[in-house]
A and B are shown apart, each in its own frame.
Chain A
């Protein structure tokens, strides 16, 4: 509890981090109070109101099907964040234990797993994503799973690096001497010390996941119409950009920027908070 209070105090003392926290809270508000904040139903098409610039009736204008952009941006917060958080959570839950095991045990099995990760990470990300979503279908759970697959290697590598450097430390030898099993050593001794970079990475990865989801939807391999999702909204607006219709693609893009920024700022704050070189009060 006091840890959290300390952390909040820490954040509030630094303008960048405070800004990030504010943006984060804004998104939470958008998620929880979407029906109250929105002015129109997010998927109701009104063809006669198509492509109207921002006005009193539609605060951020309408898109090509006449759907209200402001309302869609609000509701899209749910979709984008849900997909990203689920994806990163799954990747974390799978990647951390795998990384622990691979870093603790050396041998051909570990090398093989690392090669598999190399392989996943050497694939052109978008093409892999497109192909996987094509195979599995355009449901938001599938998009989350695809992203999780892409992120598992990141967490695994991170934890593996920590495990590798920790496994030969004296305190681990001591634990082994007192009869701890491999499992206990990995999960009770190494893991708590290795977790910190992974926790920071969570925040970074959520940001990346939001960008990836948006990118996939932009090419048409993400969520399906007319679900409100920031990347999909930019894609719908991209056609008209060159004709001078700027509002359809601009505002959802800004939403992406601010959302990802909030997670990046929080990651930075976390990293600085746990940095052993920081002067603590």
Chain B
């Protein structure tokens, strides 16, 4: 009797083992600026949403990863690999692609992957007229759902497009095009909500490495590992992401050891951390292009000389040192420098006040002019830059009024062309120069907020989007960059890079084009 009790007493702590399985080594606490606004992948993509989708949704294809010299894992843009698709074929005419799904893939709720999941996800995306629909109609030029999407058998799906597209393969790597677990989704459909939008806004159902177990928007989101994930169970079983809008707070939390990872710290804060023991700072060049866009149709910005003049007034060296602490690189092209076809040969700007004044005089504005620059509420960095630019532009007589605007107001005003200058920091997640140029430089694009218009550029972009000859595409894109730099629709600033500060025992950092962290790659020593 007594030995039995004794054995029980010994066994008791071990019987409690499963509750302790999520120990500190398997839990990651992250402090970030914002929780995702919705868990639905049809919600407009934001930085927080990109990170969510990277961890929860799985897509058909992916890039192979390669390790850089800095020990960080990067996507290898030259090598496409299969994710949910074990293999795939691209037709020689680039007008169709056939996916063979990987057998044995199981979702976070235990349902296996099959072609029905893929077709249902396509149908949903097509009908909701949001992200999926945008990609299909704007990039692949699909017009008819039934003609384009075809279920061949239980594990095979074919997508056919009307015109050849060089992006036919690479597009499916975007995590906005994740495949949903239709079996789970179907349990939550109603007549009023036939695509489960209400449910998917606050729940997750896909084949990715994590599922969302707690979602308190504006406060925190908790991811738990999918033990049946096809690449193996994640090493970090639980990731707690807490929203802390102020970067200084995220820094303090990291210093105090309250969190393991602090996202989006300012360059000043990172330089402070650099001297602290116990903290690692991962830095990559990333793909952000930060610039001040000008309203090219509003005088005096309709004159390229004025736009060029402003580019010569920017004190880039001082900004690089004082604002970015030498972590940023000047932007020398509208295409990010790590994407193929990037070239910096057409970048000639330096800080030359005399040259700027001469250009302004040629444009008929020898005494300068008055204008307005908009930036977002809550963006400390942009405010610092705005104040510096105001002083710098004043040297040539350009008197700038600074307008700190709530995000939605700023977006509305630049969409309607009502604000002459505004900051814009963006990145394109498809590593293709034509895709990037099409977003921002094609005058038919709704996102060409600066209303830059060059017929030659439009032609070159359109041909690059439909041609599959790599040589020609490359030279076309170089020409696009040349025209752009000579016309300066923007004031080119910096690529701030992407930095992630973590405690020293957090390893495995990797970088993906949407800049969201993939917790699957991380582990704690």
Residues of A within 8 A of B (CB): 43-48, 50-51, 64-67, 134, 138, 220, 224-226, 239-243
Distance of B468 from chain A, by nearest CB (Å): 47
Min CB gap B215→A, angstroms: 26
B47 at the interface (CB under 8 A from A): no
Most buried by B among A43, A46, A64, A134: A64
Which residue of A has the minimal Cβ distance to B319? A47
Binds A, one of B164-172, B305-313, B403-411, B444-452: B403-411
Say if the beta carbon of B387 comes within 8 Å of chain A: yes
Q: List 12 A-B contacts (CB under 8 A).
A: A45-B388, A45-B391, A47-B319, A51-B268, A65-B384, A67-B387, A134-B409, A220-B404, A225-B383, A239-B248, A239-B380, A243-B269
* Across-interface contacts of A47 in B (CB, < 8 A): 315, 318-319, 321-323, 384, 388
Contact of B384 among A64, A138, A220, A242 (CB under 8 A): A64
Contacts of A220 in B (CB 8 A): 377-378, 404
* B355-404 interface with A by 8 A CB criterion: 377-378, 380, 383-384, 386-388, 390-391, 401-404
B463 contacts A by Cβ under 8 Å: no
- Asked if B464 is at the interface of the complex by the 8 Å CB criterion, the answer is no
> Known contacts A45-B387, A47-B323, A65-B388: does B402 contact A242 (CB below 8 Å)?
no
Asked if B406 contacts A224 (CB within 8 A), the reply is no
Measured between beta carbons, the chain A residues less than 8 angstroms from B377 are 220
Given contacts A48-B321, A134-B406, A220-B404, contact A225 B248 (CB under 8 A): no
Bound Cα distance A277, B272 (Å): 62
B252 within 8 A of A: yes
Contact in complex: A226, B390 (CB < 8 Å): yes
B249 to chain A, nearest CB (A): 7
- Asked if A243 and B248 make an inter-chain contact with CB atoms under 8 angstroms apart, the answer reads yes
B491 located at the interface, meaning its Cβ lies under 8 Å from any Cβ of chain A in the complex: no
| Contact among B246, B249, B252, B402 for A226, CB-based, below 8 A | B402
User: In this assembly, does B328 line the interface, its C-beta being within 8 Å of a C-beta of chain A?
Assistant: no
Complex-state Cα separation, A50 to B321, whole angstroms: 11
Contact with A along B95-136 (1 / 0, CB 8 A): 000000000000000000000000000000000000000000
Q: Which of B226-253 contact A (CB under 8 A)?
A: 246-249, 251-252
Listed residue (A47, A48, A50, A241) with the most chain B CB atoms within 10 angstroms of its CB: A47
Q: Which residues of B are interface residues toward A (Cβ below 8 A)?
A: 246-249, 251-252, 268-269, 272, 315, 318-319, 321-323, 377-378, 380, 383-384, 386-388, 390-391, 401-404, 406, 409
With both beta carbons as reference points, the residue of chain A lying nearest to B391 in the complex is identified as A45
Does B387 contact A226, Cβ atoms closer than 8 Å? yes
Measured CB to CB, the closest approach of chain A to B55, in angstroms, equals 29
CB closest chain-B residue, reference A137: B403
Question: Contact between B403 and A224 (Cβ–Cβ < 8 Å)?
Answer: yes
Q: Could you say which residues of chain A place their CB within 8 Å of the CB of B322?
A: 47-48, 50, 66
Once the chains bind, are A242 and B387 in contact (CB under 8 Å)? Answer: no
A224 and B375 CA atoms in complex are apart in Å by: 11
Inter-chain CA distance A220–B377, complex, in Å, is: 7
CA A65 to CA B391, docked complex, whole Å: 10
B402: A residues at CB distance < 8 A: 224-226
Q: Across the interface, which residues of A come within 8 angstroms of B246, CB to CB?
A: 239
Contact B321 A242 (CB under 8 A): no
> Top 4 A-B pairs ranked by shortest CB distance?
A47-B322, A45-B391, A65-B387, A242-B248
CA distance A163 to B391 in the complex (A): 54
Closest to A134 in B: B406
Taking a contact as CB atoms closer than 8 A, the residue among A44, A51, A224, A243 that contacts B251 in the complex is: A243
Q: In whole angstroms, how far apart are the Cα atoms of A205 and B334 in the complex? A: 53
Question: Which residue of chain A lies nearest to B248 when distances are taken between CB atoms in the complex?
Answer: A242
Q: Does the CB pair A43–B248 fall under 8 Å?
A: no
B318 touches A48 (CB 8 A): yes
B contact residues around A65 at 8 Å (CB): 384, 387-388
Q: How far is the CB of A45 from chain B (nearest CB, A)?
A: 4
CB nearest to B403 among chain A residues: A224
Measured between beta carbons, the chain B residues less than 8 angstroms from A66 are: 322
**Nearest-CB distance from B59 to chain A (Å)?**
38
Instruction: Tell me which residues across on chain A come within 8 A of B406, comparing CB atoms.
Output: 134
Residues on B with C-beta less than 8 A from A51 are 268
What are the residues of chain A within 8 A of B251 when measuring CB–CB?
242-243
- A48, A138, A242: the one contacting B252 at CB < 8 Å is A242
